[in-house]
Amino acid sequence: MSIEISDMVWNRTAPQRNLSFQGVDMGNGARRDSSEAKDSAAKGSLLRSFHFILPPSFFLFFFTTPLLAHGAGFSIFTQGAGPMGVANATVAHHEGIASIYYNPALQLEFEGINMEAGVTLLRPAKELESTLTRRTYKSVDNTYTPVHLATNYRVSDRLSLAFTLNNSFGLGNEFPDDTIFRYITTESELTTWDMNPSLAFQVHDHMAIAVGVRAVSADVTLQQMIPLQSFGLSDGKQSFDADGSGYGWNIGATYAPFEELAFGASYRSSVNIDLSGDLSFELPQNRNPLLSTLFPGTSADSGFELPGQLFLGIAYKPSVKWVIEAAARFEQYSCYEKLELRTQLPVAGQTSRTLIKDWEDVWGYLFGVSYQSEGGYRFSCGYLFEKTPVPDETFEPGVNGLDKHTLTIGAAKQFGNITTRISYAHDIYEDRDISNSGTLSVLNGTHSQTNQSIAFSLSWHI
């Protein structure tokens, strides 16, 4: 993450003292010998020099961050092979019990006890064609594996209970240690575990409603390099590891006035996550001893807000074999206005920093079609488009900052009470040209990205 100097707010905690080298008056009547005073003056000189040497990208802990975001910002929408096969257009109809992530009221479409578990393999690739160095920088090839679990129990004709476990938000990025933006990020991971029990009630024959509570835990790992060349040293490295949790809720409803037509809507609330963890440093050998004082290992805390998400859908069933759904989702990323980090001990003389983000709310548009054959096979395809919430002024390589088109296909086969599903998604990102000034200029150039995803799910009915 990066921000221009004019957008930064630094808070100093180091006390101001009146120092003189011949019999040092500490301002409170105490005196130290001149050798101690020289050490203190040297430390102060080194610290002052660091304010000029150290770029504003230092202290960038968060949020360029187990899992690669499949949606806008740091949202993940790989919540089951069935939904992914129709590009997540499963708000007004279901593609397996995993669809209750998008609308918990859909659990009333199932009888008895139903369970589904699965995993998605994500293969991201990011690239920057820099206008500053005329070089191309690529991300390290990695595969990420978000998982999902969904189950429900139909208590009666009008009541159902359900539980889902998902990686609802996350990021995963790794870059070589020699990129032009290595002082912004080299590796970042965010993993969330979203536990969501819910209940649904059939209001009448045509309408169902649902409500649930959410407990979300988050783990963060962020790494970046530190420039030490002005001290005749190679780069150092800093790491921030933290975890935290928060709580939220969700609601949903379906309305089917006719057998061929259904409407769906749901909302997942925003969740505030308070993080606490540790900040550590890897410094070169044969370093100036004062560097260890400037970069001490220390505890640190931060926090962020996961955005609220609205899902709307309309499904049309021209026959018992075909389902067509058009849907939209709205994500309230305007909640991500700024990011604050606080450390217990001063790091480079500072104990807090505020980074301005100013992200924007975004809409995504989804369309999916599925076909059920007489032989127990189900085939699906879909398309979605969504804008990025990240403005040019606060663009960063660690999040999905490009507009995206996604094409999906899927297939399922039922074997008695067991159903297997597989789907594939190809994300096509629109190239984005960045041209910023100041410290953000290290990101200037053309940014491109591609993602490929394969999802597997296994479900069974009791």
The tally of CA atoms less than 13 A away on the side-chain side of residue 386 is 32
Report domain extents, the chain: 56-461
SS (H, E, C) 176-225: CCCCCCCCCCCEEEEEEEEEEEEEEEEEECCEEEEEEEEEEEEEEEEEEE
User: How high is the pLDDT of residue 129?
Assistant: 93
CA angle 79, 83, 86 (to 5 degrees): 140
Calpha distance 100→163 (Å, rounded): 9
Contact 162, 421 (CB under 8 A): no
User: How high is the pLDDT of residue 287?
Assistant: 67
User: How high is the pLDDT of residue 14?
Assistant: 34
User: How high is the pLDDT of residue 260?
Assistant: 95
- Cα 263 to Cα 75, 208, 237: the distances in Å are 24, 11, 52
User: How high is the pLDDT of residue 12?
Assistant: 33
User: How high is the pLDDT of residue 432?
Assistant: 94
Contact 447, 118 (CB under 8 A): no
Calpha distance 369→359 (Å, rounded): 32
Contact 163, 215 (CB under 8 A): no
With a CB cutoff of 8 Å and minimum separation 6, the contacts of 62 are 1, 220, 222, 240, 275, 302, 304, 339, 341
Beta strands in 307-444 (DSSP E): 309-316, 322-331, 338-347, 350-356, 362-372, 377-386, 404-415, 418-429, 432-434
Q: What is the DSSP letter of 24?
A: E
Element holding 45 (H helix, E strand): helix 34-53
Dihedral angle over CA of 453, 110, 117, 323, nearest 10: -10
Q: Which two tokens stand for residue 352?
A: 């807090």
Q: List per-residue pLDDT tens for the chain, 462 residues long.
A: 333 222 333 333 333 333 222 222 323 333 334 444 444 444 454 444 444 344 444 443 333 333 344 556 778 888 999 999 999 999 999 999 999 999 999 999 999 999 999 999 998 889 999 999 999 999 998 888 999 999 999 999 999 999 999 999 987 888 999 899 998 888 888 899 999 999 999 999 999 999 999 999 999 998 999 988 877 888 999 999 999 999 999 999 999 999 999 999 999 999 999 999 999 999 888 767 778 888 888 999 998 899 999 999 999 999 999 999 999 999 999 998 888 889 999 988 889 888 888 999 999 999 999 999 988 899 999 999 999 999 988 888 877 889 999 999 999 999 999 999 999 999 999 999 999 887 778 899 999 998 999 999 999 998
Chain Cα centroid distance, residue 381? 26
Number of other CB atoms surrounding residue 136 within 10 Å:
12
CA angle 127, 132, 138 (to 5 degrees): 15
User: According to the CATH classification, is domain 56-461 in 2.60.120.330?
Assistant: no
Contact 254, 207 (CB under 8 A): yes
Query: What would the DSSP string read from start to end of 69-127?
Result: -SSSBTB-----HHHHHTTT--SSS-SSGGGGGT-GGGGGG--SEEEEEEEEEEEEEEE
Query: What would the DSSP string read from start to end of 258-313?
Result: ETTEEEEEEEE--EEEEEEEEEEEE--SS--HHHHHHS--EEEEEEEEEPPEEEEE
27 burial level (CB within 10 Å; 0-12, 13-18, 19+) = exposed
Largest CA distance in the chain: 95
Calpha distance 63→55 (Å, rounded): 18
Contact 210, 231 (CB under 8 A): no
